[in-house]
Amino acid sequence: MERHFDQQLGTLRKNLIQMASMIETAIANAVKSLIERDSDLARLVVQSDEQVDALELEIDKQCVDFLALRQPLAIDLRFITSSIKITNNLERMGDLAVNIAERVIPLSQEPQLKPLIDIPRMATITQTMVKDSIDAFVNRDTELARSVYQRDSTVDAMNDQIFRELLTYMMQDPANITRAVHLILITRHLERIADHSTNIAEEVVYIVKAKVVKHRGYNLEEP
Amino acid sequence: MERHFDQQLGTLRKNLIQMASMIETAIANAVKSLIERDSDLARLVVQSDEQVDALELEIDKQCVDFLALRQPLAIDLRFITSSIKITNNLERMGDLAVNIAERVIPLSQEPQLKPLIDIPRMATITQTMVKDSIDAFVNRDTELARSVYQRDSTVDAMNDQIFRELLTYMMQDPANITRAVHLILITRHLERIADHSTNIAEEVVYIVKAKVVKHRGYNLEEP
Amino acid sequence: MTVGKRKIFNTFFQGLCRSMAFLVIAILIAILVKVVTNGVGVINLSFLFKAPTEGMTEGGIFPAIFGTICITLLMIILAIPVGVSAAIYLTEYAGKNFLGKIIRASINNLAGVPSIVFGLFGVGFFVLFLGRGMDKILGIPLLFGQPAMLWAASTLALLVLPVIIVSTEEALNSVPVSLRESAFALGATKWQVVRNVVLPQARSGILTGAILSISRGAGETAPILFTGCAYFLPRLPVFTIPYVHIPVINPLDQFMELSYHIFIMATQSTNVAATRPIQYGTTLVLIALTFLLNLSAIIFRIYFRKRSR
Amino acid sequence: MKVEHGIKGQQKTKITLDGLSFYYGKYKAIDNVSMEFFECMVTAIIGPSGCGKSTLIKSINRISEITNDVQVEGKVLLDNKNVYDRDVDLVDLRRRVGMVFQRPNPFPKSIYDNVAFGPRLYGVNNKKRLDEIVEYSLVKSALWNEVKDRLNQSAIGLSGGQQQRLCIARALAVDPEVLLMDEPCSALDPTATARIEELIEDLKKYYTIAIVTHNMQQAARISDYTGFLLNGQLIEYNITTAIFTNPDKKVTEDYITGRFG
Amino acid sequence: MKVEHGIKGQQKTKITLDGLSFYYGKYKAIDNVSMEFFECMVTAIIGPSGCGKSTLIKSINRISEITNDVQVEGKVLLDNKNVYDRDVDLVDLRRRVGMVFQRPNPFPKSIYDNVAFGPRLYGVNNKKRLDEIVEYSLVKSALWNEVKDRLNQSAIGLSGGQQQRLCIARALAVDPEVLLMDEPCSALDPTATARIEELIEDLKKYYTIAIVTHNMQQAARISDYTGFLLNGQLIEYNITTAIFTNPDKKVTEDYITGRFG
Amino acid sequence: MNYDLQSSNFRASNVPNSTSPESGLKRFGDKRISDLLVESRQANVNRQRIQEFIIEKLLFAGGMAAILFIALIFIFLFKEGVKAFFLIKPIEFIGTHILDFDDNRVFACMWQPVGESGKYSIVPLLIGSFLVALPATVISTILGVGCGIYLAEIASAKVREIVKPAIELLAGIPTVVIGFLCLTLLATYVQNAFHTTFRLNAFVGALGVSLVIIPVIASITDDALRAVPNELREASYGLGATKWETIWKVVVPAGISGVTASIILGMGRALGETMIVVMATGNAALVTGNVFSSVRTMTATIAAELGAVPQGGPQYCALFLVGSLLFFITFVLNLVAELIISRMRKKLRL
Ligand SMILES: Nc1ncnc2c1ncn2[C@@H]1O[C@H](COP(=O)(O)OP(=O)(O)OP(=O)(O)O)[C@@H](O)[C@H]1O
Ligand SMILES: Nc1ncnc2c1ncn2[C@@H]1O[C@H](COP(=O)(O)OP(=O)(O)OP(=O)(O)O)[C@@H](O)[C@H]1O
Ligand SMILES: [Mg+2]
Ligand SMILES: [Mg+2]
Ligand SMILES: O=P([O-])([O-])[O-]
């Protein structure tokens, strides 16, 4: 017989996974709208944020209620406190997806600055990071989580590279400036999304192993 | 006789206040280094982040321990869960201060783009928001908290305005581009800092009134 | 006080208590040994089943044994139903108000009133007041108005009544309130609660109490001294129903009784010294009888205590 | 005290206390309490020792009257019928409102006889019927698997937690509509307590449950509604999560955060 | 079982159990337990009912020997001296290792006499001395203010929580070094429990405290170290926060998250 | 993973899930249990009510009968006793003026109810009773309390299993047997040991009576001490007390009321004991303080004289007065003992 305690935890988990999948979709759609210059899709992303926000509040409330009513300990407690942080991160990721989408809308009105090559690559990496961090959470897979935060530096590097490249574009032609700045901000948003995935991955390690890897550099080996 | 429960809560509170004041200083210094083009001060800000990170981990641990050991309820529970979120916000604010400082270092090497007027103004508003959100937290002052998130839109507006202004600078002279982009990012960081203050203010309302004001728009009146 | 001194004290006083307990046991054994060794010689079938002869210096003690058994049975019949139902009424039905308290206290204390006082009451009330009164009403001289088994048994019944009530009440009260409440909560009526929950639980307590009180009654002498015991009665207190020839115990007859027999033989017999063996023999029979009752009560209690665990 | 539901009117009221006061002699143990117990919900009553929790729930099936010299004012409506009306059949009332007590108190009989006790009181003697009822009750109280092979053994041999489940089975055997529980876990160890708590959460599908506890965590875990009683007065009554995360009254907050007294 | 301290070696070991086994007749209630109790720390022993918690702490002051037919293997070192050595004086051992029990058990004497009982045993009869000791002990057990005006009244008139504090005062009056507490709050209501817990946290400044509880939350709240006992074996022993947020062993985790058994 | 963005149908309600009773599961056989029960009860509810009524009345009758008889004892005894005051001058219950051998009028306390001018002084009887009861109480207090302590505190469970019933068996020996043994054996031993003038004397009686009340005291003391919660013992050991210190300073004081009560009850029994004193004390109504002289107790007086008195005469009434007095004394003693015990119960919160 499943305990009511576990049932309730299960519901919370399901909600978290749902929220995560909504975020994943939002990010995917934002990136897609950028690449395909699809302002309608971008608008959809912006709209969908309301649901994410509502879900965040719901999950937060569930966490607090669970703490109040069930007094979880050990792994359950870590799961709850991490959930609070994870929703926070997810919500920020959702906002960032919205921010991207918001920049896509003016961008898609204007001619394409240049064929996008690096940005989609960066977007793909970021997306897999998001997906993997969520999978790691769902499956309590610390290996996968570790791989997520090891990829973060790649994203950072690409962000720098794209930044410099776009600077060059701007210098070449002032007409590019607005669009380039938008793109710079978009890459920055992608970079932030990767950061938040990293945070989630760190929380996964914390939930499962009770080890804090945040702020520790990512060179921690299995003990 | 003070209860050990309250003593422990008191310690947690003290740590939170200390962390907040460190963040306040970091932001102030970052802004000062920008205005005074003081790369040494900027470097100091970057270095100080390590302490903030350590304190964040410490507070997080205290919160989890408190949940595990003391099973807080009602206002105490809200305080703890909010603390987890507040440290998260504070830590991000610290990072953003570092981001600002990091951009100040190259900027201060180059000649000044233009006399900074709007950015210091925006910085001042942001700083008061930070300060007020922390004061609101310390004094459980929901009125002050409310005033914080009411100021957020001002900051957003200034951010937009500065963004546009800097775009013009860039178009005028490609030589300005790098510095202008740095400044754009700095204002964006300031805007994010204001957002995080807003989050803290929202948490204060939650702690004291058990009312969730996040994602609800800031037009909530006293019931 | 030094620790050493404290330890010596410890050993000494524990030893003292132990030796006191063993002294008491030793006395008991001594009594038993004395009675058995002096009495066992005269015990044989004819002693047990013959009437006394030769001015009670010879023969058996059968009438006394018979009388003792009869009066005990009669006492049981009179005392137990009344005692148990009174106890049930008092604990389960009567309120715990002031009057109830007074009644309870009186009954409790009556259990400690000397048996001779009951004897006094037996003579005064049963024989003289009730018996004579009935005789007067019926117009028969000396049918009820003289010492008789009925009056002796009534007196004994009265003597053990408080004992039975008290021990029954104790047994009933030891049934936890929560069990009663549970039964009520299932919708049981008062009698259903008593019948199905309280009595089964209290049964062993009630039974042991009853046996102990019977043994107390069986060994008592004082109350029957003047209410029905005969010094010497060569016949049994039996009355044969005419025509059908079925013998029944005659409760209006006098009777011989073991303890009274001992008392008489030891103090008022014509030749005290010569009848010593008979006295010891009778004593042995009496002790055997009461011990049997006591022992059964003790075994009963141990058995039930073990089972209820 | 009316509770505001999120979705108003979804719950059906099973029991209503209406201005209930209860006196032991001159002592007022319950002071003008009005509240509702909802169908198929667990309602917990919390409060410090001696605040009148037991008295409150015992006044619902009128078990509190077993003590003499008590006096009741106000009404207790069970399905809108005042249980203190003259024409109420106590036997039937107590069949409909079952009760479980603080310490496990099985009768010193066999497990089977314990459960069959209630039905037999009502004159059910058909062996097959009884068997069915016993199995049904034991299954519901999550004890069947543990005892099905030794139904004829004495109930005293069971562990504390099993005994308490047996007491629950015994109460279920008369098919009540309401279950009153007076600190049912306070004599049990944590493992047995957890079992009973699980059971209560299962049982609420079928029964309206009122539980007294002075373990706040327990109230928090298992109940849907919680009432806070103090000195015989109902200070606050609300949805459990509200009581434990955001109570209305200062004194409730003080009590649940341990700053009381 | 050695515990890794946050700051290694800072704690001084007060009591060491070294391969302790304890038998009731043939039944092994404690099975080869090795652990340390640190000076001026609260060590909690948790575990399911019957796992041997009481036996474990009672074997420290050898109160467990009051029962007949018990047998001990291994050592219990108090300040590096085995209390099971032949030359150990039981009277002195029990003075140094005070004990507080599950139900408050004041002697049916006056409050004063309760506290003075211990010192008097040791021959202290000087009234002024006794007064001082009584006041000192009552102050330490946070009871002085409540009882200072009625020291000569019977201790039985105190509330449960006060009685338990009186028992603590009584134990303190012989100036012990160690305090053993066997579920000291299990008979108390939450308010009184909170008081005692506060007191324990105060007392640990002066005494080494070992407390048995089967309330995990309580262990979590008041102890510095926690040991988890199961079937007489010490499964895990560590700093309390570690046990409750991140236990090493699966079975410990199962127990404290309620997934056990 | 492919999630549908639109399908977020979480509940935003904070209200517990509401269901109505799953009555489907309540069905049982062909009907619900409750229907079955209600039906079944309907069938015999009237019979049950009648049964209930009759049984209550029967029990009530039993209770009343018991109470009636008990009331009768009070009333009858005192009624007959009070009559004595009308037949005999009250002062005579203390003593009368008689002429001594030198023909001096002296005030003497004598019990000589037979004859022309019966003398009805109760004083020698009271003295006799107490001369037996007091030494008996002292002896049996020492031995009884010692036995009680041994049983409750010192003896191991196994020894106790044997010793306790043995002591109870002693209580089960009929008093006439003890009287008989005192008369035949003990009296001789005592005379040989103390060289007393009277072979049968108060001391012999006291020893005999002791045998009866030692078990009473031992048993009640044992019960009282065992009622002392084990926690108190543990607490005492925990403070470093030795076993004897624990017994003497903790257990006995905690159970002191029970012990006291047992002594008082024992004394009551001693005063009321009849057969032993009749047989062992010599039955001479002397005014004396010497335990080795023959005495006549109140009980013995009734036992010896009641057989041969005419109903309603002064001696008859005087005997009832003595009986009433005896009744009164033991009643008061019992009452005191009971009060003490109930106070102890309260004290130990039993
Ligand atoms: N039979 C009774 N007679 C007189 N007063 C009583 C009786 N039962 C309870 N009381 C008093 O009524 C008040 C409420 O008692 P109740 O048993 O309902 O409290 P409670 O909240 O259940 O306490 P606890 O948590 O200790 O069980 C208490 O002050 C108690 O002293
Ligand atoms: N005097 C005794 N004689 C025989 N066995 C005993 C005795 N005391 C305890 N035991 C057994 O030893 C084991 C451990 O008992 P102990 O009292 O130490 O458990 P515990 O952990 O304190 O349990 P609880 O939480 O119920 O107090 C139990 O199985 C118990 O049955
Ligand atoms: Mg209660
Ligand atoms: Mg224990
Ligand atoms: O607010 P952030 O998304 O930059 O963490």
Interstrand relation of E225-230 and E42-46 (parallel, antiparallel or unpaired): parallel
E108-167 residues touching B, CB cutoff 8 A: 142
In the predicted model, is pLDDT for residue F276 greater than 50? Answer: yes
The per-residue pLDDT for E41 is 92
Give the full edge-to-edge strand order of the sheet including E42-46. Answer: E97-100, E178-182, E208-212, E42-46, E225-230, E233-239
The per-residue pLDDT for D4 is 52
Here the CATH number for the domain that contains residue E74 is 3.40.50.300
C-alpha dihedral sign at A175, A176, A177, A178: positive
Cβ–Cβ < 8 Å for D237, D226:
yes
Residues of A in contact with F1 (CB under 8 A): 21, 24, 131, 134-135
The per-residue pLDDT for F29 is 54
The per-residue pLDDT for C135 is 83
Strand extents, DSSP E, chain C: 52-53, 58-59, 238-241, 246-249
What's the CA angle centered on C26, arms C21 and C27, to 5 degrees?
100
For residue E218, tell me if it sits in a domain: yes
Cβ–Cβ < 8 Å for A144, A198:
no
The per-residue pLDDT for F3 is 34
Q: Using a 6 Å CB cutoff, which residues line ligand 2?
A: E 24, 27, 29, 47, 49-55, 67, 214
ipTM: 0.77
CA D2/CA D7 separation, integer angstroms: 14
Structure tokens at D173: 């055997």
For residue D3, tell me if it sits in a domain: no
pLDDT in tens, D197-217: 888 988 888 899 999 998 888
CA E98/CA C274 separation, integer angstroms: 70
Q: What secondary structure does DSSP assign to A43-91, as a single string? A: HHHHHHHHHHHHHHHHHHHHHHHHHHHH---HHHHHHHHHHHHHHHHHH
CB contact (8 A) between residue B73 and residue D256 = yes
Nearest CA to ligand 5 atom 1: B192
Distance E56 CA to ligand 4 centre (A): 9
Structure tokens at E239: 């700093």
Residue with token string 């993997």: A132
* Domain F92-348 of CATH type 3.40.50.720: no
Could you tell me the CA-to-CA distances from C82 to C130, C218, F54, F55, F73 in Å, in that order?
20, 18, 16, 14, 16
For residue E85, tell me if it sits in a domain: yes
C299 pLDDT band, cuts 50/70/90, is: confident
Residues of E in contact with D194 (CB under 8 A): 258
Of D180, D206, B87, nearest to A85 by C-alpha is B87
Distance B145 CA to ligand 2 centre (A): 57
pLDDT in tens, D118-163: 888 888 888 888 898 899 899 888 889 889 898 998 888 888 889 9
What atom in ligand 1 is closest to the CA of residue D49? 25
D100 DSSP β-pair partners: D181
- List Cβ neighbours of C196 (8 Å cut-off, separation of 6 or more): C183, C188, D117, D121
Of residues F338 and E172, more confidence is placed in: E172
CB-based contact, A70 to chain D, within 8 Å: yes
Of all residues in chain C, the one with the smallest CA distance to F41 is C187
Ranges of residues in chain A with a pLDDT under 50 are 1, 218-223
Instruction: Give the one of D132, D174, D242 whose C-beta lies nearest to F28's C-beta.
Output: D132
CB-based contact, D219 to chain F, within 8 Å: no
Distance E179 CA to ligand 2 centre (A): 20
Which one-letter DSSP state was computed for residue D154? B
What's the CA angle centered on C64, arms C58 and C68, to 5 degrees?
165
Of all residues in chain D, the one with the smallest CA distance to B78 is D245
SS3 B162: helix
Residues of E in contact with B69 (CB under 8 A): 220-221, 240-241, 244
Cβ–Cβ < 8 Å for E53, E41:
no
In this complex, whether B and C touch, counting 3 or more CB pairs under 8 angstroms, is no
Residues of D in contact with E216 (CB under 8 A): 190
| Residue in F37, F38, F39, F51 to test binding to D, most D beta-carbons within 10 Å | F37
Could you tell me the CA-to-CA distances from C30 to B204, F77, F150, F186 in Å, in that order?
90, 40, 21, 12
Cβ–Cβ < 8 Å for F134, C260:
no
For residue E129, tell me if it sits in a domain: yes
* Domain-wise residue ranges, chain F: 20-81, 92-348
CA C65/CA C62 separation, integer angstroms: 5
Cβ–Cβ < 8 Å for F66, C165:
yes
| F79 class by beta-carbon count within 10 Å (0-12 exposed, 13-18 middle, 19+ buried) | middle
Residues of F in contact with D11 (CB under 8 A): 18
In the predicted model, is pLDDT for residue F104 greater than 80? Answer: no
Work out the percent of chain B whose per-residue pLDDT is above 70.
95
**Mean pLDDT, to the nearest integer, of D83-88?**
89
The per-residue pLDDT for C57 is 66
Instruction: Give the one of F55, F149, F150 whose C-beta lies nearest to C191's C-beta.
Output: F55
Distance A13 CA to ligand 1 centre (A): 44
Q: What is the domain range of residue E37?
A: 13-256
Q: What secondary structure does DSSP assign to C251-266, as a single string? A: TTS-B--HHHHHHHHH
What atom in ligand 5 is closest to the CA of residue B96? 4
**Mean pLDDT, to the nearest integer, of D212-241?**
90
User: H/E/C letters for each residue in chain F?
Assistant: CCCCCCCCCCCCCCCCCCCCCCHHHHCCCCCCHHHHHHHHHHHHHHHHHHHHHHHHHHHHHHHHHHHHHHHHHHHHHHHHHHHHHHHCCHHHHCCEEEECCCCCEEEECCEECCCCCCEECCHHHHHHHHHHHHHHHHHHHHHHHHHHHHHHHHCCHHHHHHHHHHHHHHHHCCHHHHHHHHHHHHHHHHHHHHCCCCCCCHHHHHHHHHHHHHHHHHHHHHHHHHHCCHHHHHHHHHCCCCHHHHHHHHHHHHCHHHHHHHHHHHHHHHHHCCHHHHHHCECCCCCCCCCCCCECCHHHHHHHHHHHCCCCCHHHHHHHHHHHHHHHHHHHHHHHHHHHHHHHHHHCCC
The per-residue pLDDT for D91 is 86
D70 DSSP β-pair partners: D24
- Number of domains chain D is built from: 1
Average pLDDT, chain D: 87
Structure tokens at A71: 């007094």
For residue D261, tell me if it sits in a domain: no
CB contact (8 A) between residue B74 and residue D258 = no
pLDDT in tens, D97-126: 999 988 888 888 899 999 999 888 888 888
| Residue in C101, C175, C178, C182 to test binding to D, most D beta-carbons within 10 Å | C182
- List Cβ neighbours of A91 (8 Å cut-off, separation of 6 or more): A52, A53, A56
Of all residues in chain D, the one with the smallest CA distance to C308 is D108
Closest ligand (CA of B199): 5
The per-residue pLDDT for A185 is 87
F98 DSSP β-pair partners: F106
> Residues in chain E whose beta carbon is closer than 8 A to a beta carbon of chain D?
48-49, 189-191, 194, 214-217, 258, 260-261
Nearest CA to ligand 2 atom 6: E24
C108 pLDDT band, cuts 50/70/90, is: confident
CA F122/CA F107 separation, integer angstroms: 14
H or E element that contains C104: helix C98-110
Structure tokens at D48: 């410090």
For residue E8, tell me if it sits in a domain: no
Which one-letter DSSP state was computed for residue C185? H
The per-residue pLDDT for E1 is 56
Strand extents, DSSP E, chain E: 13-24, 27-38, 42-46, 70-78, 81-82, 97-100, 178-182, 208-212, 225-230, 233-239
Of all residues in chain A, the one with the smallest CA distance to D215 is A69
Of F309, F313, F302, nearest to C114 by C-alpha is F302
CA E179/CA F239 separation, integer angstroms: 11
In the predicted model, is pLDDT for residue C153 greater than 80? Answer: yes
CA F244/CA F264 separation, integer angstroms: 25
| Residue in F39, F40, F42, F45 to test binding to D, most D beta-carbons within 10 Å | F40
The per-residue pLDDT for D6 is 42
In the predicted model, is pLDDT for residue B31 greater than 80? Answer: yes
Q: Using a 6 Å CB cutoff, which residues line ligand 5?
A: A 92, 192; B 92, 192
Interstrand relation of D208-212 and D42-46 (parallel, antiparallel or unpaired): parallel
Of residues D173 and B211, more confidence is placed in: D173
CB contact (8 A) between residue D40 and residue F15 = no
- List Cβ neighbours of A211 (8 Å cut-off, separation of 6 or more): A205, A220
Residues of A in contact with E217 (CB under 8 A): 71
Q: What is the pTM of this model?
A: 0.80
Distance F292 CA to ligand 2 centre (A): 58
Residues of F in contact with D91 (CB under 8 A): 41
**Mean pLDDT, to the nearest integer, of C5-13?**
86
Question: For residue B70, how far is the Cα from the chain centroid?
Answer: 30
In the predicted model, is pLDDT for residue B50 greater than 60? Answer: yes
CB-based contact, A57 to chain D, within 8 Å: no
pLDDT in tens, B104-134: 888 888 777 677 778 888 988 999 999 899 8
CA C124/CA C135 separation, integer angstroms: 15
In the predicted model, is pLDDT for residue F9 greater than 70? Answer: no
F2 pLDDT band, cuts 50/70/90, is: very low
C75-104 residues touching D, CB cutoff 8 A: 95-97
The C-alpha of E104 sits at a distance from chain F's nearest C-alpha, in angstroms, of: 8
SS3 E29: strand
For residue E209, tell me if it sits in a domain: yes
CA C109/CA E176 separation, integer angstroms: 49
In this complex, whether F and B touch, counting 3 or more CB pairs under 8 angstroms, is no
For residue E1, tell me if it sits in a domain: no
Cβ–Cβ < 8 Å for A27, A95:
no
The per-residue pLDDT for C308 is 55
* pLDDT in single tens digits along all 261 residues of chain E: 555 544 445 678 999 999 999 999 889 999 999 999 999 999 999 988 888 999 999 999 888 887 778 899 999 999 989 999 988 888 888 888 988 888 888 888 889 999 999 888 888 888 999 999 999 999 888 889 888 888 888 888 888 888 988 998 999 898 899 999 998 888 787 778 888 888 888 888 889 999 998 888 888 888 999 999 999 999 999 999 888 888 888 899 888 887 776
What's the CA angle centered on B61, arms B59 and B66, to 5 degrees?
95
pLDDT in tens, F160-197: 888 888 888 888 888 888 988 888 888 888 888 888 77
Which one-letter DSSP state was computed for residue D176? -
Q: How many CB atoms lie within 10 A of CB F313?
A: 13
A23, A49, A91, A92: residue to mutate for ligand 5 pocket, most atoms within 8 A of CB: A92
The C-alpha of D256 sits at a distance from chain B's nearest C-alpha, in angstroms, of: 7
The per-residue pLDDT for F30 is 60
In this complex, whether A and B touch, counting 3 or more CB pairs under 8 angstroms, is yes
**Mean pLDDT, to the nearest integer, of B80-98?**
90
Q: Which of A101-110, D17-26, F15-24 has the lowest mean pLDDT?
A: F15-24
**Mean pLDDT, to the nearest integer, of F107-111?**
69
C-alpha dihedral sign at E209, E212, E216, E218: negative
The per-residue pLDDT for D229 is 93
